[in-house]
């Protein structure tokens, strides 16, 4: 048991990198759920983003086209979910699961020729004097651009939901879609836009996994990250800053257990590798035990504007 081999600075730095894909996906899903739609297909959208991002990055030689293509592809995929649930009024849980399964199959299909390849990745930023700070500089200020963009996304979504008219309309569609419809807001269009946004964010998260975090393409590489993102939205009570906390908590546990495994801890490997999921269950239970759930009022209910 060699605790000395775990470098706390590196550990904390890797927490930010580990949390970013889940943060991106969870933010997108939070917006979707605030608009009243339960999209269980986050895993499928993330892995599609991962494979498309990887493929485009390899073919174009740079990572940024990969990210853009990933966002676009996942948004497109999420539109199938959107049309099925909003226009064809299908069951949201079943359609979301179908999206996950279809996304997993699609990504395996697309990714076959790309297995084992190396892709262009994002460079670590050098923020001048900030990066040169003794330990904090390494931990917080020497990451790639996507990490900071994800934090910016949290702030932007929070500001939009809290202070803009568009955010208010989105929340209205999520709380009571009949009232929003009566006021004249196009609930279906709002939800479709939210679903596309959620898809784009999940795609970005997946692309971050395959282009920066790992960075490689392997079949099934998201390993449940999409489901974790869903869980984080629930235990953040659908609030942006709490999603940030949740994503970093999960990223932290994942990184910690990997480091403990590498350092040869006396804890059984099965317990360590299952620990992120067990912690998620624990936090979910604690949150629901505390009572008021703050879920959007119309979450999961199909909307049909009867004439």
Q: Could you say which of 6, 12, 64, 108 contacts other proteins (CB under 8 A)?
A: 108
Lookup: tokens for 57:
């990055």
Which of the ranges 58-66, 181-189, 202-210, 223-231 carries the binding residues for other proteins, by CB under 8 A? 223-231
Give residue 229's Cα distance to chain centre.
Answer: 5
| 273 binds other proteins per the rule CB under 8 A | yes
Closest distance to other proteins from the beta carbon of 62 (Å): 27
Alpha helix stretches (DSSP H) within the chain: 8-34, 42-60, 63-82, 92-111, 136-140, 145-163, 165-175, 177-182, 187-208, 225-235, 240-262, 269-289
Pick between residue 147 and residue 198 the one whose CB is nearest to other proteins: 198
Q: Could you say which of 49, 98, 215, 252 contacts other proteins (CB under 8 A)?
A: 98
Nearest to 248 by CA among 22, 9, 32: 22
Q: Which residue has the tokens 């000395």?
A: 4
Closest distance to other proteins from the beta carbon of 196 (Å): 18
Nearest to 121 by CA among 59, 69, 54, 70: 54
Q: How far apart are CA 120 and CA 58, in angstroms?
A: 7
Q: Is-contact 157 101, C-beta < 8 A?
A: no
| 199 binds other proteins per the rule CB under 8 A | no
Distances (CA, A) of 133 to 13, 39, 237, 254: 14, 42, 35, 26
Q: Which of residues 74-93 bind other proteins (CB under 8 A)?
A: 80, 84, 88-91, 93
Pick between residue 13 and residue 260 the one whose CB is nearest to other proteins: 260
| 304 binds other proteins per the rule CB under 8 A | yes
Closest distance to other proteins from the beta carbon of 84 (Å): 5
Pick between residue 9 and residue 101 the one whose CB is nearest to other proteins: 101
Pick between residue 14 and residue 280 the one whose CB is nearest to other proteins: 280
Which of the ranges 59-67, 149-157, 190-198, 265-273 carries the binding residues for other proteins, by CB under 8 A? 265-273
Distances (CA, A) of 304 to 14, 34, 35, 115, 295: 46, 18, 15, 44, 20
Interacting residue ranges for other proteins, rule: CB under 8 A: 40, 80, 84, 88-91, 93-95, 97-99, 101-109, 112, 219, 223-224, 227, 230-231, 234, 268-271, 273-274, 277-278, 280-281, 284-285, 288-289, 293, 304, 306-307
């Amino acid at each position: 048991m060699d605790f000395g081999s775990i470098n706390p600075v590196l550990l904390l730095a890797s927490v930010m990198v580990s949390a970013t894909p889940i943060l991106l996906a969870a933010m997108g899903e939070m917006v979707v759920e605030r608009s009243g739609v339960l999209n269980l297909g986050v895993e499928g959208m993330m892995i599609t983003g991962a494979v498309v991002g990887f493929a485009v990055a390899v073919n174009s030689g740079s990572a940024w086209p990969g990210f853009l293509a990933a966002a676009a592809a996942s948004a497109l995929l999420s539109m199938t979910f959107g049309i099925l649930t909003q226009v064809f009024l299908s069951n949201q849980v079943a359609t979301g699961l179908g999206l996950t399964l279809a996304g997993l199959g699609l990504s395996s299909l697309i990714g076959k020729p790309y297995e084992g390849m190396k892709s262009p990745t994002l460079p670590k930023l050098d923020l001048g004097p900030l990066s040169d700070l003794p330990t904090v500089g390494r931990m917080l200020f020497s990451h790639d651009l996507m990490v900071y963009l994800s934090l910016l996304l949290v702030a932007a979504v929070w500001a939009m939901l809290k202070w803009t008219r568009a955010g208010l309309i989105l929340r209205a569609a999520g709380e009571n879609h009949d009232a929003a419809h009566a006021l004249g807001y196009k609930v279906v269009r709002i939800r479709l836009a939210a679903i596309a946004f959620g898809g784009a964010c999940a795609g970005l998260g997946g692309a971050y996994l395959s282009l920066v975090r790992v960075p490689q393409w392997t079949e099934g590489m998201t390993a449940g990250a999409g489901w974790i993102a869903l869980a984080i939205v629930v235990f953040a009570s659908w609030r942006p800053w709490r999603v940030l906390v949740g994503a970093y908590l999960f990223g932290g546990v994942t990184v910690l257990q990997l480091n403990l495994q590498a350092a040869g801890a006396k804890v059984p490997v099965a317990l360590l590798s299952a620990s992120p999921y067990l912690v998620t269950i624990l936090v979910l239970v604690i949150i629901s035990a505390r009572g008021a759930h703050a879920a959007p009022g119309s979450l999961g209910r199909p909307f049909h504007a009867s004439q």
